[in-house]
Amino acid sequence: RKEVEQDPGPFNVPEGATVAFNCTYSNSASQSFFWYRQDCRKEPKLLMSVYSSGNEDGRFTAQLNRASQYISLLIRDSKLSDSATYLCVVSKNDMRFGAGTRLTVKP
Amino acid sequence: NAGVTQTPKFQVLKTGQSMTLQCAQDMNHNSMYWYRQDPGMGLRLIYYSASEGTTDKGEVPNGYNVSRLNKREFSLRLESAAPSQTSVYFCASSEAKGQEVYNEQFFGPGTRLTVL
């Protein structure tokens, strides 16, 4: 079993849609959680950290459920520019990356 | 600031050849990392360096060596390339010290390596 699992997608949604991604992790001792964004053939970039109480950054909302060991990312009012692969990242002593969920937002 | 830079961007090797991937950062970060990214696998840590002069193995270190030349530079060497090392290699840096990984990692643009 992979340490960090994500639905690979692809998710194809129209502009303005709301889309949610989930990620599960196996190490219950994990302490830090992140969502990274990776555009096609580019490097990953931090989208947002995920805090225990949940956090929001504009159209993006991240939630953490430690009891069930999953993390979620909600994107509201999707834009064409949101098309990318979203990587779930979990860390204890090092960072473990999920394989990513691909999102395509269409006009 | 250039952030994290990597050279080369692309490389094709024959099995058994050696090469060194270069990485440099100008953010004065203590920690630097080398990852490989394969389809369906996510990024996997090869080696990391928590500070100048120290290096440690990550999840997939076999077939690789690293050198933390100074605070800015961290190189990855393939002594005898194998087709299984065909991948995209990313270097990253962060302000984290030692085992702390709570801070954002900044990635270089990647090196696409093909081993025939």
pLDDT tens figures, B21-71: 999 999 999 999 999 999 888 899 999 998 888 999 999 999 999 999 899
Query: What percentage of residues in chain A have a pLDDT greater than 90?
Result: 79
Residue A1 has pLDDT above 80, yes or no: no
Percent of chain B topping pLDDT 90: 78
**Across B7-12, average pLDDT:** 97
Closest chain B residue by Cα to residue A49? B104
For residue B100, is pLDDT > 60?
no
The residue length of chain B stands at 116
pLDDT mean over A38-56 = 93
Set of chain A residues whose Cβ sits within 8 Å of the Cβ of B105: 46, 95
By the 10 Å C-beta count (0-12 exposed, 13-18 middle, 19+ buried), A107 is classed as: exposed
Give the SS3 label for residue A55. Answer: strand
C-alpha radius of gyration, chain A, whole number = 13
Please give the Cα distance from B102 to B94 (Å, whole number). 9
Report the pLDDT value the prediction gives residue B98, as an integer from 0 to 100: 56
Separation of CA B31 from chain center:
12
**Residue with tokens 């990852």, as numbered in its chain:** B35
Q: Look at A98 and B99 and tell me if their CB atoms are within 8 Å.
A: no
Amino acid type, B1: N
Residue type, B77: R
For A43, which of B41, B45, B90 is closest by C-beta distance?
Answer: B90
The confidence score (pLDDT) of residue B22 equals: 97
Residue B58 pLDDT: 92
Residue A85 contacts residue B37 (beta carbons within 8 Å): no
Beta carbons of B90 and A8 less than 8 Å apart: no
Of A3-17, B71-85, B98-112, minimum mean pLDDT range: B98-112
Helix or strand or coil: residue B73?
strand
- pLDDT reported for residue A52: 87
Q: Which residue has the tokens 């953010």?
A: B27
Residue B39 or A71, more confident: A71
Closest by Cβ to B99, choosing from A2, A93, A100: A93
